[in-house]
Chain A
Amino acid sequence: MRRNPLPALILAVAGLCILLPVALLGLWSAAGRWPWPELWPENFSTRGLAELLAPYNRTGALLLSSVGLSLLAAALATLVGAMTARALAFHQFPGKGLVRFGAILPILVPGTVLAMGLHTVFLRLGLADTLSGVVLVHVISALPYTVSILTDVTQARGRGLEEQAAVLGASPTRAFLHGALPSLIPGLLSAGSMAFAISYSQYFTTLLLGGGQVRTLSLVMVPYIQSGDRTLASCYALLFVGSALAVFAVLEGLIHLWTGGRKWN
């Protein structure tokens, strides 16, 4: 029997589209000069690596605080997103359309405008230049994604299992925890990953609302991308992509452990 070659081909093309740029980043991170039309860099330098490892850059601490900040923002955005999604999916209330629209507003308004408006508000609230302010603005930026992902998921799962559990005498909490939650986990995980990615890549909002007092990997990386320093930009980009992937892998692993390896979707 001949197998259909199309899926394999699509997979190969998609894989190449992802892996080739990452491989190029790897090469650039160690390349000195790589003029056109050479196929291989003319020389290599350890400048990028030396910069990453230089003690005054405190790269380790930077990485930990960035990941911690984004995990916190992602958890909050997922929690708020899940609750909003439940309200939108299962309840009728006045102004529902407005809530749905309001939830996606942060991505409709240009990022710089949003950041400058929030800056003024946060200044009055005393949240500017604080960690809580940065977490909050990251949550706001991630909410459009978590709300829309989780609204779809919640609607698709319905509340059948929860109602079944209630019929059998479970309390609402128990019915939610054991009836609805397990089936929502894949959705929560993808919403959480999305929120993490959004938060991890926030530049301007972190810059303006953190006032430079909250350091993240993006804040250090973006100026090198802007300045066109391809070696340093590639080094930081690799660290950025690698650390985000590592976080996703750990999250997946934790969920896997928690569900005892059972297939939950």
Chain B
Amino acid sequence: MNVLFLAVFVSSAAVLLVKDAAAFLPALLAGAGKAVSLGLQLAAVWAVWLGFLRVAEDAGILRAFSCAARPLAGKLLRTRSAAVLGSASVHLAANFLGMGGAATPAGMRAIRSLREERNGFGQTMLFVVGCAGVQLFPSSAVALAASAGARDPYALYLPALLASICALVVGVGLVLLCYGAGRRRSAFSRFEVRRKKKRGALR
């Protein structure tokens, strides 16, 4: 990410220097301004959903939810921890229902707990499944098509759903391929372990 950031920044700045040097600082400030307003929006969304999630957690609803989802989610993420399974199943359910606002904080909590138990497979799997974006009802896309005067705004529903499901299958397959299906370790994860050990020795 550091290399990418530097490369894109330097090349864009160089082009802008030649083309229109006066536009450089306004562009940076516009980006920072967007970040601040996005941060405020996110803070508002998180305040609502994190408060909600904490109430649900203390009422034991998350635990009940994770018990119901345990057979499937536990196998998917290879974990037994109730904290992970609760947030992860909320994340997946909210994603599926198209409630992005609720999905993101729950996903962040689940990934944080997975990181604490050093479950790299679970983090990757949860991220990839979330990123496939399988949605029961893509409300914002349909609303946008309808407001643009589409005759049949639901025309995009089936292609989008099928494409997302295919993306989910491809993503899960790739994760299993990279980490090795089942219990045995693949060549890749052995390599990862060796790399980690070497880094630890250097430090």
Partners in one complex: no
